[in-house]
């Protein structure tokens, strides 16, 4: 069996490159996309073992929309999803009380398997992706 395949979706090219490098060094095959539309297209046409999504891309909620779209499509609904975001850090900086965490995950609004704040250390990202690549997604019945 070949390397596990990971899809990274993020509009920050530097973070995309850093995360891709970390995952490739850990033995993963990595596909990338810079927005939700590209991300959906890649996921729908390439079997991936895990998708790592940013929240804010072309729109402030594009990652949430992408996660829901992936869960609704038969080709992609079983892909474990990791949401990476700097929303919490940015909200904290402006004094907002709005925060997201693993507790906010649900099958309709935030249908992801993990929710992690950016920046994430490369070794932590690799560890989480390894776990998700070997585990069943919560949406699998």
Instruction: With a cut of 80, say whether residue 42 has pLDDT above it.
Output: yes
Q: How many C-beta neighbours within 10 Å does residue 60 have?
A: 10
Average pLDDT score over the chain: 84
pTM here is 0.82
The pLDDT assigned to 117 comes to 87
pLDDT band (50, 70, 90) for residue 115: confident
Backbone angles phi, psi at 7, to 5 degrees: -105, 125
Domains, the chain, ordered by start: 5-134 (3.40.50.2300)
Instruction: With a cut of 90, say whether residue 10 has pLDDT above it.
Output: yes
Concatenating the DSSP letter of every residue in 58-86 gives SSTTHHHHHHHHHHHSTTTTTS-EEEEES
Tens digit of each residue's pLDDT (9 = 90 or more) over 30-41: 999 999 999 999
The pLDDT assigned to 43 comes to 98
Tens digit of each residue's pLDDT (9 = 90 or more) over 52-111: 999 989 998 899 999 999 999 999 999 999 999 865 444 444 444 444 544 554 465 578
Query: What residues does 59 pair with on adjacent strands?
Result: none
Angle between helices 122-134 and 13-25 (to 10 degrees): 60
Backbone angles phi, psi at 119, to 5 degrees: -75, 145
First to last CA, the chain: 24
| Calculated CA dihedral for residues 78, 45, 133, 141, nearest 10 degrees | 10
The pLDDT assigned to 35 comes to 97
């Amino acid at each position: 069996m070949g390397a596990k395949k990971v899809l990274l979706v993020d509009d920050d090219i530097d973070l995309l490159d850093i995360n891709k490098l970390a995952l490739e060094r850990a033995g993963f095959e990595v596909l990338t996309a810079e927005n939700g539309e590209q991300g959906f297209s890649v996921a729908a046409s390439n079997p991936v073992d895990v998708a790592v999504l940013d929240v804010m891309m072309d729109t402030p909620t594009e990652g949430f929309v992408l996660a829901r779209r992936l869960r609704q499509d038969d080709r992609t609904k079983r892909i474990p999803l990791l949401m990476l975001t700097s929303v919490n850090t940015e909200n904290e900086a402006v004094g907002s009380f709005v925060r997201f965490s693993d507790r906010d995950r649900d099958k309709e609004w935030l249908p992801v398997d993990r929710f992690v704040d950016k920046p994430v250390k490369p070794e932590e990202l690799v560890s989480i992706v390894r776990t998700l690549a070997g585990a069943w997604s919560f949406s699998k019945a």
